[in-house]
Structures are given as structure tokens and as C-alpha cells.
Structure 1
Amino acid sequence: MSRARFPAGRRHRGVLLTALAAVVALLATACGGGPPPDPKATDLEGLYQEAKAEGEVIWFAPKPESQMRPAINAFQKKYPGIKVKYTNKKAPDLVTQLNVEEAANRVSFDVSNAGGLTVLPSLDTAAKVDWADYGVPSDQVFADNFVYVWAVPKVWAYNTDAVRKADVPTSWNDLLDSEWGGGKLTVESRGSFMTVWAQDHSLGTDAGLDYASRLAELSPHYTENTTQAHTNIVSGQTPVGTDLINLVLDDQAKGAPIAVAPVGPTNANKSYLFVPDGSPHPAAGRLLTAFLGSAEGQAALVDTYNSIIPTDTDCTDADTNKVIGALCAAGVQWYSETDVKQYEQFSAFFPKVEDALGTNVD
């Protein structure tokens, strides 16, 4: 199989920006009045009353609605009178839309997820919120205005029908074996699966770029995002590839022939929620975010494999948290982000990974 080249993240953002720029004038001249004022309530009950008056909350996140439905139902049961309007929007698309809408002073959504490369572009658009007022634990608040709600560990996965147990790769080096050449690996072209090389000092970014170059020599099958890579693995089109453990566990539960390969360490990729400045329903946005960060919200998320996990490898809750359990059962260590500087490092690292992979077509 030839080395297919897909547009990398930066090109996608440029194309989307051009397309969305056409609506800026319409957004800017849309029905009058500025955005609603920020909520006055400094407690959850008062916030609920303000949110109930707004009547709805618009939430964008890069997840299938089926995975979010239990949490949405739990929120609407706890806070009747507020309808959740959910849209599955991929991260690069979301950042582009956010930038355009902010420029037009007309934001169309109330809650957004941010993670990985979307963290830095989202920092300046997040409304300033004292999340402690709404019961959010301090260790879940990131960069003042973001709330940590779940992790999306990046893993290597394999098709259990296509790969014998004895042949499953067990290390990053195993993946460079010639037996995985010629398109037998499916790889997300933006290079986010390489995050851990910028986190773990025993690996390192220079070694990571060398690794990416050697991986490219195997002529892997590149996909624009990890969801597409996951689909290729499940179908057996490519027996091994980059994946997200949440997707693996979801399809595994449905009987799909897919499992986590014991390749580590890896990045656990924290995902945050934030309410953008100028959102149409600011009280409802804060209320939904606080709920999803609470113990009750987490209980509704955990069964769909979207939950908070420890920042670094810790198997204490392996029996009760399926994401932790799957990582620990496979013997995969993980690391998560802890400060903004790490995201700045990733922002500089990923374009170099794309160059090394040959997927940067800018």
C-alpha cells in the first residue's frame, strides 16, 4: 500500500477558516443586541434558576452523542426545564468556528471541550469563572477557567481476528519491525499519538522525530484523525494502528474484534470544558460544566468510558474505572498534561512530527 498523504491539521484549519469567514458578516449583523450578561448567582441553586430562565444549553464536543447521552439525561433529570442541544464537532473544526464567531462577536454555543492542540487556541476565548462557587474541586480546574472532565488516553490497538496473540507488538520498537510495513499500520496523520515523546524525558522530542521518520519508512496508512484509524482497525483493513482507548472499549463491548496493544508509555490527554465569552446561555453553560465535573456527572460518564483518571499511572481504581482497568491490564503506563507550558511544547512538536511522517502538505 502506498503512503497516502492526507491534509494535516493546519491545512484543515485554513480551509475551514476560508469557508467560515463567509458567514462572519451574517453573524455580525444577526438579530440585534449583545450577548446576555454573565450570571449573577454565586451558588448552584441560584445558577439553576438563571439557567432555567435561559431554557437550553448548546454543547459542542468531539464525541458521538451516544457516548454523551447518559450524562445529558442525568443533567436534564437533575435540572428540569433546561434542554441540552449537543453537537459532535471535531476539535479543529471547533477551534476555527470559535475564532470566527469571536471575531464577529456572535458566539453560537455555550460549552466546548478543549484538549491537545485545541487548548491553546481556546485559552483566550474562555469566560472567567470562579468554579469554586459552583462546587468544582480545585484539582479539576486548569488554567483558571477550564474544568477537567475526562481523559482520552491514546493507545495502539489491534484487530484480534487479524493478529495472533503471539504477534501483537508489545513496545514502540516492535512497531518498527518490517512485518508491519506496506500499510499494515494505520496512523493518525497529525501525529498526536506521539505526544508522550514530548512528555517523558526518557524518550524525548529528538528521539521522537527520529522514530517518526523510521515509522514513515514502513509506508503506513495515514488517516486524517484517530476515529478513522479506529474504523480501519475494527474492519480489519489495517490490523494495527493508533487509537483512543475510549473508542476501543466502546466497540469491544459491542463484540468488535479489537483490543489494546501493550505498547507504552502513552499520553492520557486530558479533556476540559469551558464556557466561551459571549455565549448565548451563560448560566446554563456554567451549570452543565459544573455538573459534568461533579461526582454525579462523573458517575453518568464513567460507563461510556469518559471519566477523570489520575494524572500519571495509578492502578488503584482499576476495578471500578474501565479506562484505568484496561490500561493497567495491558501494562500501559500513562502521563497527562499538568500546565500550559506543556501544551506550548506540543504545539511546537507536532508540526515537526508531521514533517517527519511526511503528512505535512502545507
Structure 2
Amino acid sequence: MKIPTRRWLAVSTAALLSGGLLTACGDGGATDEPIARNTRAAAGIGQDEVAEATAEGKVVVYGNPPEDMWKRLIPTFEKAYPGIRIETVDLGGSELVQRVLSEAKTGAASADLVIDSNSKTFLDLADVIAARTSPFTAELPEFTQPESGVYAFAADPGILVYNKAVLDEGQYPASMADLAAIGDAHPGKLTTYDLSNDNGYSQMWTLADAIGDAAWDVYADLVPETTYESAGGTMLQKVAQGEYVGGYFQSGLARGLLAPMGYDKLVGWSYASDGTPVQPRYVAPLSDAGHPNAAALLQDYLLSAEGQTVVCASGLTAVREDVVGTCGDFALKHIQDELGEENVHLVPFGRQVFDDKPDFEARVDALDKG
């Protein structure tokens, strides 16, 4: 169950995304209305900040958000702030950390800003992250600010997916318990991320941490019927083809991919009413950035109301509460309102998730063997 890197998201979405706009969704289905991006410069960012960033001319970003984020963000940002280019390097997890620390040690040119959904990345880079406070801090949920300079600009749910051709409509799962029942009726036909994938593991850990024995009771039914995969795209394709009947802890990006891929007639999705984990995605500037003002501007833009509409239009889940009307299912507040906040569980920022991994994996392996 070993996978060499965390590039699951970049790889799968690069292979799956078409050029079409995402649509605003509700109750697991899409409408015909595309999510409307606000293409204006962000209100709340001072002209002095913009002028200083423009004088630097560019911002270099290391990270592995989905390809569609760059397709939406780069032209929108560069139109709003002419004279500032965004340059990207596709890196994540330990690979990103090693490169940044190596460049810091040698004095080589490096990133201005880093993006990752793994909190361990930012803990490992703590000595080289620039402490700063965004002008939008007071407008953001508290969880988005775990450390000075580090902000969550997106928070993506783990969802359930299922084959609509195999299951009758009355069998579509609305909870982890429902999916466990499907696994019992279709032995070996469930899928999720391999535990060596940080995203899949952290979701599974978070649900167990949040609801305790209730999660382990469900895992006892799910795990023996589960085949592990390393990439979200692979799982989605195999669910569409009927190799798997359902999957859990799938990336929330799948909500916007099904229709462009032509899978929406075959594959449905839902949130788990008995516990939906949510993985924040963080952005932070580096202390030795060659373009510090441009880095600050891009971070602030991602946290602004205008930038958040670009975030949700790219398939990520916006964290600001004032964009729910635009983003629909692609806004965290919408999900919390639908399920109840007590059933939405944020993957925590900290080392405990990863420190617990050996014992957690052993307990999951015991369920599989049992």
C-alpha cells in the first residue's frame, strides 16, 4: 500500500478536466447555470499594496492545486492586476518541503508563495514562512488561520460516489452506514484512497477522531469490502464502469468533474450525513520571497470575496460565508447548513494526525484481515 508521492490530485484532475465551466450544484445534481466568477480587483486590498506588488512584476508559486484552478485564477488575477504575472511550479508534500528548504539553505531563488492541502507541509516549513495578517482576517472563519501567515483559502469535502446503473434510486447512499450496507450486498465492490495517500488517510483519521467508536463500527463493515486506489481519477472511472459500486472519502472535486467527463448519467455523489470530513487547503508566503508584496497580494486575493468566486468556479470549496449564493455546493457554509455543522469535520492542522498513523494503519489492517 505504498505510493511514492502525494501528486494524486494534480495527476487525476489534469487527466480529467475539460475546458467547460463548472455548474452550481445542489442535492448532488448540477444545474445549467455556470458558477459566475467575479473578475474585478478585490475590494479591501489597498492601492499601496497593489502598487508595491505591481513594481515587483510577478509572483512564483509552488503547489499542486487542481489544474483548473490555475486555468481560472491566472487570467482573472492578471486581468485584475495587470503587470503582475503568476508563475507556477507543480510540487506538493515532502517534495515541496525539500525543494524550499534546499533553496533556502543555498540562497537560490525560490517560491514566493506555497499552496498545499497537507498541514505537515507548513509545519515543516515553519522556519521559512513569513508571519503576516491578511486584511480579510476578520471576514474569515477561525479555522482558516491556524498559524501566523498561514491561511486556508479552500476546504474540500470527502464525498460518497456510487454507480447509478447498478443501484436503484432508493439504494443511493446518503451516509457511510448506507455505503456499508451496499458493500455487504456487493462484496469487494467498494473503493477509497490507499492509506499511504495523505488525503485519504487524514479524512479517515478525522472521522474516527470526531465520532469515535461509531466510525470504527462503520469501518469494520467497509474495510473488508474495499479495494484501495492511489488516484481519484482511477476510482471515478472504475465506479462509472461498474468495477466498483461505490466509493468513500472521494475528493470533492468530483462534484464538478462528472458532467464534463460524461459520467453524470452513470455516477452520483452525496455527502455522508453521518460524518463528512473536510480537508482545508492552505496558502502561505515565504520569508525570503523575492517578490514579497506580490505574494501578499495573491494570498489576499485568494481570501477576498472576489477571489473566492474564482476558487469555487475551479471546483474547490470556498471558505468565506458571503459567497454561498454564488458558489452553492462549492461553499463550505452550504455544506454545513445542509448537513448540520456537527456532521462536518475539519481535518485539523497539526502533527497529531500523522503521529498517529502507524497505530491507525495497524487498526485498519486488522479490520481487513478480520
What is the TM-score of this pair, normalised by structure 1?
Answer: 0.72
Aligned twin of 2:259: 252
- Whether contact under 8 Å (2:308, 2:323) holds in the other structure is no
Picking from 174, 197, 213, the partner of 2:207 is: 197
Tell me by how many angstroms 1:269 deviates: 1.6
In percent, how many aligned pairs have the same letter?
21
Cα distance change, pair 93–185 in 1 and its aligned pair in 2 (3 A):
farther
What is the TM-score of this pair, normalised by structure 2?
Answer: 0.70
| Equivalent residue letter for 1:83 | R
- Whether contact under 8 Å (2:158, 2:278) holds in the other structure is yes
Equivalent residues in 2 for 1:85-124, closer than 5 Å: 85-106=87-108, 108-118=110-120, 119-124=122-127
In the aligned structure 1, how far is the partner of 2:106 from the partner of 2:216?
Answer: 39
Do residues 154 (structure 1) and 158 (structure 2) align? yes
Cα distance change, pair 282–235 in 1 and its aligned pair in 2 (3 A):
farther
Aligned twin of 2:228: 222
Tell me by how many angstroms 1:345 deviates: 3.0
Equivalent residues in 2 for 1:12-23, closer than 5 Å: 12=5
User: Structure 2 regions of 5+ residues with no counterpart?
Assistant: 7-44, 196-200
Cα distance change, pair 241–123 in 1 and its aligned pair in 2 (3 A):
farther
Equivalent residues in 2 for 1:2-81, closer than 5 Å: 6-7=1-2, 12=5, 44-81=46-83
Tell me by how many angstroms 1:316 deviates: 11
| Equivalent residue letter for 1:240 | G
Picking from 168, 181, 201, the partner of 2:187 is: 181
Aligned twin of 2:176: 172
User: Structure 1 regions of 5+ residues with no counterpart?
Assistant: 1-5, 14-42
In the aligned structure 2, how far is the partner of 1:327 from the partner of 1:164?
Answer: 25
Aligned twin of 2:308: 298
In the aligned structure 2, how far is the partner of 1:277 from the partner of 1:60?
Answer: 14
Q: Secondary structure at the match of 2:128?
A: coil
- Whether contact under 8 Å (1:117, 1:347) holds in the other structure is no
Tell me by how many angstroms 1:79 deviates: 1.1
In the aligned structure 1, how far is the partner of 2:164 from the partner of 2:103?
Answer: 44
Query: How many correspondences in the alignment?
Result: 310
Tell me by how many angstroms 1:112 deviates: 1.6
Tell me by how many angstroms 1:121 deviates: 2.8
| Equivalent residue letter for 1:274 | A
In the aligned structure 1, how far is the partner of 2:288 from the partner of 2:241?
Answer: 43
In the aligned structure 1, how far is the partner of 2:346 from the partner of 2:281?
Answer: 10
In the aligned structure 1, how far is the partner of 2:146 from the partner of 2:53?
Answer: 24
Q: Secondary structure at the match of 2:355?
A: helix
Cα distance change, pair 186–109 in 1 and its aligned pair in 2 (3 A):
same
Picking from 285, 292, 298, the partner of 1:275 is: 285
Do residues 286 (structure 1) and 288 (structure 2) align? no
Do residues 263 (structure 1) and 272 (structure 2) align? yes
Q: Secondary structure at the match of 2:174?
A: coil
| Equivalent residue letter for 1:260 | W
- Whether contact under 8 Å (1:152, 1:269) holds in the other structure is yes
